[in-house]
Structure 1
């Protein structure tokens, strides 16, 4: 969890040990600010089911294993795992099997993830038999476990997982590229906290980190997946060839959020160097960049690869209420980056930062509604 207290500053901590979506159930928590992700995921269910239709039905005597990578701490991951298991159960029944196999679901994220909140949302296991589980609407039909660790490395035994699912996670890098925060480097991202609008050297550094991370992800999954298994991936993407134009991610992190950091500098609350040493470790890749890494790795065949219009991350009850839109943007931004901000500048300054984000977003509410839309790369992969 993020450190608490007044003006706590944590430096030189590996990102892997602290990165998480904002835990708990507060106003800016991920649990209360992931409705947009839920809507986007549901809009892609037909593509997920197409992927599942290609997974061979193994013997009912063997366990069918599903893993959600980057599960975070809300109900979205539980819903998607249940969709996968329900679809596979229906396939077994349609194929004439007396009973489906037992199902096992692994929820995986970094150790700093709020697994406690996630596990509290899990319904209890269904009953003495799989049939009783499947007949229940309030109980789960699968065994569940948490797997802490980075998905850029191995997480599971070899040949053990039938279906990998990962949504809205792979755009998070394993680290901010070293040269981006190195004053001696041409990639030093002076004056900015994100790649959006940065110089070419900064963009190259981010791109190389993305390529290295994705290659590590694919190499690990290729060892862990059962022969015939499939992987369904959704991550932020962009339609522009220029990596310094990060599209919706750029508007989320590179405009009002950026300006709020500049406010703190101009008001003397933090130094410009303090701002420059904070960078959002996110990279929205193009379809071509994603494809290049998959093909260079060679472990997987691409069954489907497309850019999918994901809509806006702002979910509001009153679209004409500028203040609600401002709060929604600030909460959305804080739910995914708040832990990093808290660690960098402390709780009090973090509150001031996101208050300024809300104020600025309120002033530009109409523009945000019109322009803040995400695109996602959707990929269905199987072992080559």
Structure 2
């Protein structure tokens, strides 16, 4: 779809006046995505601004993902989630037209004003997260999902620990390690983590660059990978987010804040949650390392390479906890990765 076709379709969907088949006096500004292959644009007509999102050209999977974005987005809005309003959606092309939330994310808030100034927004985020995890699961249709309908053991092994071993340890760093021993630990970790009840709404990329700040309130984006899953995963995604590097005190404070918010929604044993949190934080940390290695090496996006060391330091910290004592092979591999990165 070229710019003229995009403007014509967007204008028709939004009811904007057309001139010679094209929306009148509309500025079209391409936006740079993070790791996504989707295409983003800002459309501005007079004082009205709209974000247009298109799947990649000639990509059937991208079209399915776009439809998941629309269906899950509508559901979350109906549940009261702080997501952008979906103004229009074209099922044939996958064009989504959304409320423009600006360009200020939680990530920028920390960079510009510091963690202390950002903590109230983090508190907002974890309060809203607890609500949508519980309420968003009610009436959620797994058929909306474009990837998998549930976060489970197989996904952990293929897309998280397996991703780390393949994309980071082998492809990027070319390490020589005991794959059989480490693989056995990854299977043990996935088996333990998969015992957490997976009946809640899971965003699966809940981190500072996917939380906008608009008019003093947090808003959540990039929820198209949503599915059913365990509670602790999204919280771990936010608290160990290497883009920011929250200190231990902030993480503990926000975990306690989250548990208070969760308690207003459901009864969930706090000790059980904290056991599940460590296991799922380990899983998420492995996924982060695999993704950042892949994006920096294969997708040629050097922005992500700078966060590999912070992500490895986070993984080392998690593996040092008493509840992770059974993962000596992963701990050793993590140290090998850290040393190799220092010499790249």
Structures share fold, TM-score greater than 0.5: no
TM band (smaller chain): under 0.3
Please, what TM-score do these two structures have when normalized by structure 1? Answer: 0.26
As a proportion of its length, which structure holds more helix?
2
Relative contact order (C-alpha < 8 Å, sep 6+): which is higher? 1
Normalized against structure 2, the TM-score is what?
0.28
